[in-house]
Amino acid sequence: MLVRALVHPTCFARPRDSRLSSSPSTQVFVEGKKTSLSFSYPKKTRPMSSARCAISAKSSQQSSKDGEDRLSVHGVSEMVVGILGGGQLGRMLCQAASQMGIKVLTLDPLENCPASSLSHQHIVGNFNDGSAVLEFAKRCGVLTVEIEHVDVDALKKLEQQGVDCEPKASTIRIIQDKYIQKVHFSHHGIPLPDFMQIDNLKSAEGAGDLFGYPLMIKSRKLAYDGRGNAVAHSKEELSSSVKVLGGYDRGLYVERWTEFVKELAVIVGRGRDGSISCYPVVETIHRDNICHIVEAPADVPESVKKCAMDVAQKAVSSLGGAGVFAVELFLTKDGKVLLNEVAPRPHNSGHHTIESCYTSQYEQHLRAVTGLPLGDPSMKTPAAIMYNILGEDEGEPGFYIAHQLTRRALSIPGASVHWYDKPEMRKQRKMGHITIVGPSMNIVKRRLDLLLERENIGNHTAATPHVAIIMGSDSDLPVMKDAAEILKAFDVPFEITIVSAHRTPERMYSFALSARERGIRTIIAGAGGAAHLPGMVASLTPLPVIGVPVKTSSLSGVDSLYSIVQMPKGVPVATVAINNAANAGLLAVKILASTDSDLSERLMKYQEDMKDAVLGKAEKLEAEGWEKYLNP
């Protein structure tokens, strides 16, 4: 193998697609630098398919002479949105559009595709057929996609004719070919796994020599949900792995094997004005290369979250057009964040946003393509898990299994079922999803275990503690029980235990470091003689800590009070009056009520009851006089 060591800077002009497909040398990208390997390969093209376009409309429309439908629109936007594709993403776009009064038209080859029953008009036609796309565009104010495998040449032609396409045809062209996508992001300085194109066995062996094994082999086009990926663990496996993918004529490239510890994703909204809005970083967990579970937010350090959002924002900023983009990432063992690939549309990793965020990814996409202001992407619930309902069997047996799962979900607190209404059940096919939201990731995971019957459904009522009451000695219990009684009265689940800052420091450390993951949201700590427990625990956890000064025989609890209020800057501890654990319990209830409307209502009723009790006493005192009041 002849290797020409021609190393170029990472930021050079992006080569045209035609040069990428016809260059006589193979480009290798190692740590953002391009090197040329002298391999030749044949240029391959695919003929365009043709299809006729049939219209299946739910409401009759009066067509003008030029065939363009006139629609009466009275929503937040007067723009009719045309979506190429009518799968589950199109369905959920239609659902979001209906809330905003936006008219959506869909183009899909299947008459009964998931979006067909919800779109304003469903057009039966192939989104890979240029003539169907051109005819469809006449009915729309803006054209967008829910699948990137569309006729990009037709989109380019439409743009030249003045049709508004979001995102732009140039972006779709980049994304459609994963190798070109990698080249594009490499030119813009985005961190990526090392990669190169292969065209024959010689170039594949050269890639193995350069990157080592195992070697990830990928199809350049029409690859999704794990399809189009194969792993060669040795040089001897190269031919069989390539054969699985359809041969070199399919168009292949390879990546250096990435030892990642987690797969992350960031949904990014981009407005027509170029404004960028990122959703919280999530972790995606795959089964057989298909996204199976999404945890939001991802359990990674803040530095990793910032790096992931920076990579995602930089990647999307390099592309043209408005809409929602999904950026898939690898987190490596050494803490690096590498871009895997980008989807120019709503994505599986953003399904949870329907229930967990103030603005769902589907509403955000519609806002972006119609020129409306981008919405708030932040989460309105502390934690969420999205579980994909994948086909477990073919046909009716598969439907039965899926429906049993959805029925169980209806008994799980915080669970929402989304069924895509696909007419056929196949193994590993995405048939729907379930989102579970809750006050902590620990609680949400337990609810998922209940859904999947990993735990006994009969234990469903055993609530996870939200408040922990701790003390250094059981001698503090007569005081701290008042906090427990308040929490019990408000039906707030809690735990109570002994944790000494001096006699059991290891236990204190373990308790404080694990409290958040166990679902604890507030800690009430009794402060006796030395009074170090509240402050020490507060220094070890991000949770709010409420200290209770306990009256002592020597200084009557004043020393404990002073110890709590004298905490150094950066380690705050709340406090209440000496021995007033009841107020600590109420303060914990108020903290929890800030994100729990039902608890907030009970708290307001408690305050109303206190007010009525005081007014009742005042009325009795005034009616009976003070002497009789004191001596009933």
**Under 8 Å CB-to-CB from 558, ≥6 apart: which residues?**
549, 578
**pLDDT confidence tier of residue 44, bands split at 50, 70 and 90:** very low
Single-letter amino acid code for the residue at 326? A
d(C-alpha 164, C-alpha 82), whole Å: 10
Q: Write out the H or E segment, with its range, that includes residue 595.
A: none
Give the residue-averaged pLDDT of 367-390: 95
CA atoms within 13 A on the CB side of 52: 1
Question: Which pLDDT score is estimated for 15?
Answer: 36
In the three-class reduction of DSSP (H, G, I as helix; E, B as strand; rest coil), residue 425 is classed as coil
DSSP letters, 135-155, are HHHTT-SEEEESSS-S-HHHH
**pLDDT confidence tier of residue 185, bands split at 50, 70 and 90:** very high
**Common-topology check for domains 262-452 and 467-595:** no
pLDDT > 60? residue 61: no
pLDDT > 90? residue 322: yes
CA torsion through residues 347, 353, 357, 362, sign: positive
Give the residue-averaged pLDDT of 434-448: 90
Question: Which pLDDT score is estimated for 35?
Answer: 58
CA atoms within 13 A on the CB side of 1: 18
**pLDDT confidence tier of residue 516, bands split at 50, 70 and 90:** confident
Q: Are 344 and 167 in contact (CB under 8 A)?
A: yes
Chain Cα centroid distance, residue 62: 42
Question: Which pLDDT score is estimated for 27?
Answer: 63
Question: Which pLDDT score is estimated for 51?
Answer: 39
Question: Which pLDDT score is estimated for 53?
Answer: 43
**Under 8 Å CB-to-CB from 630, ≥6 apart: which residues?**
none
Question: Which pLDDT score is estimated for 77?
Answer: 82
Q: Which CATH class is domain 262-452?
A: alpha beta
List pLDDT tens digits, range 600-630.
Answer: 999 999 999 999 999 999 999 999 898 888 8
**pLDDT confidence tier of residue 87, bands split at 50, 70 and 90:** very high
pLDDT > 70? residue 226: no
Q: What share of the chain is helix, strand, coil (3-state, %, to 5)?
A: 35, 25, 40
CATH superfamily of the 194-256 domain: ATP-grasp fold, A domain (3.30.1490.20)
Please list the alpha-helical segments (H only) found in 571-624.
Answer: 581-593, 597-624
Give the residue-averaged pLDDT of 588-610: 90
DSSP letters, 150-205, are S-HHHHHHHHHTT--BSS-HHHHHHHHSHHHHHHHHHHTT-----EEEE-SHHHHH
Which of 494-503, 537-546, 554-563 is predicted least confidently? 554-563
Q: What is the DSSP letter of 409?
A: H
d(C-alpha 258, C-alpha 496), whole Å: 45
d(C-alpha 332, C-alpha 253), whole Å: 21
Q: How does the average pLDDT of the chain come out, rounded?
A: 86
Q: Are 565 and 558 in contact (CB under 8 A)?
A: no
In the three-class reduction of DSSP (H, G, I as helix; E, B as strand; rest coil), residue 29 is classed as strand
pLDDT > 90? residue 529: no
pTM (predicted TM-score): 0.72
Question: Which pLDDT score is estimated for 56?
Answer: 42
Largest CA distance in the chain: 109
Q: Which CATH class is domain 467-595?
A: alpha beta
Q: Are 515 and 487 in contact (CB under 8 A)?
A: no
**pLDDT confidence tier of residue 223, bands split at 50, 70 and 90:** confident
CA torsion, ordered 13, 18, 21, 22, to nearest 10 deg: -100
d(C-alpha 427, C-alpha 417), whole Å: 20
Q: Give percent above pLDDT 70 in the chain.
A: 86
Tokens of 242: 């390539």
Q: Are 157 and 101 in contact (CB under 8 A)?
A: no
**Under 8 Å CB-to-CB from 400, ≥6 apart: which residues?**
none
pLDDT > 90? residue 518: no
Going from N- to C-terminal start, the domains of the chain cover 80-166, 194-256, 262-452, 467-595, 599-631
d(C-alpha 53, C-alpha 56), whole Å: 10
Query: Is omega for the bond preceding 167 within 30 degrees of 0, making it cis?
Result: yes
pLDDT > 60? residue 21: no
Question: Which pLDDT score is estimated for 42?
Answer: 34
Question: Which pLDDT score is estimated for 23?
Answer: 40
Question: Which pLDDT score is estimated for 3?
Answer: 34
Question: Which pLDDT score is estimated for 435?
Answer: 98
Query: Is omega for the bond preceding 297 within 30 degrees of 0, making it cis?
Result: yes
Give the residue-averaged pLDDT of 6-29: 41
Q: Write out the H or E segment, with its range, that includes residue 134.
A: helix 130-137
Give the residue-averaged pLDDT of 158-165: 94
Q: What are the φ and ψ backbone dihedral angles of 276, each rounded to 5 degrees?
A: -120, 140
**pLDDT confidence tier of residue 455, bands split at 50, 70 and 90:** low
Which of 236-245, 317-326, 493-502, 552-561 is predicted least confidently? 552-561
Fold of 80-166: Rossmann fold (3.40.50)
**pLDDT confidence tier of residue 530, bands split at 50, 70 and 90:** low
Helix 152-160 / helix 130-137 crossing angle, nearest 10 deg: 40
pLDDT > 60? residue 69: no
d(C-alpha 322, C-alpha 324), whole Å: 7
pLDDT > 50? residue 458: no
d(C-alpha 339, C-alpha 312), whole Å: 8
**pLDDT confidence tier of residue 206, bands split at 50, 70 and 90:** very high
Q: What are the φ and ψ backbone dihedral angles of 220, each rounded to 5 degrees?
A: -75, -35
Tokens 């009795």 appear where?
620
**Under 8 Å CB-to-CB from 114, ≥6 apart: which residues?**
86, 87, 88, 90, 91, 420, 421, 422
Give the residue-averaged pLDDT of 166-195: 96
Query: Is omega for the bond preceding 413 within 30 degrees of 0, making it cis?
Result: no
pLDDT > 90? residue 563: no
Question: Which pLDDT score is estimated for 179?
Answer: 95
pLDDT > 50? residue 46: no
CA angle 2, 25, 12 (to 5 degrees): 115
d(C-alpha 333, C-alpha 314), whole Å: 23
Q: Are 194 and 212 in contact (CB under 8 A)?
A: no
d(C-alpha 40, C-alpha 159), whole Å: 35
Q: Exposed/middle/buried for 177, CB within 10 Å: 0-12, 13-18, 19+?
A: buried
d(C-alpha 93, C-alpha 418), whole Å: 13
Question: Which pLDDT score is estimated for 464?
Answer: 78
Q: Exposed/middle/buried for 454, CB within 10 Å: 0-12, 13-18, 19+?
A: exposed
Single-letter amino acid code for the residue at 382? P
Chain Cα centroid distance, residue 116: 26
**Under 8 Å CB-to-CB from 555, ≥6 apart: which residues?**
none
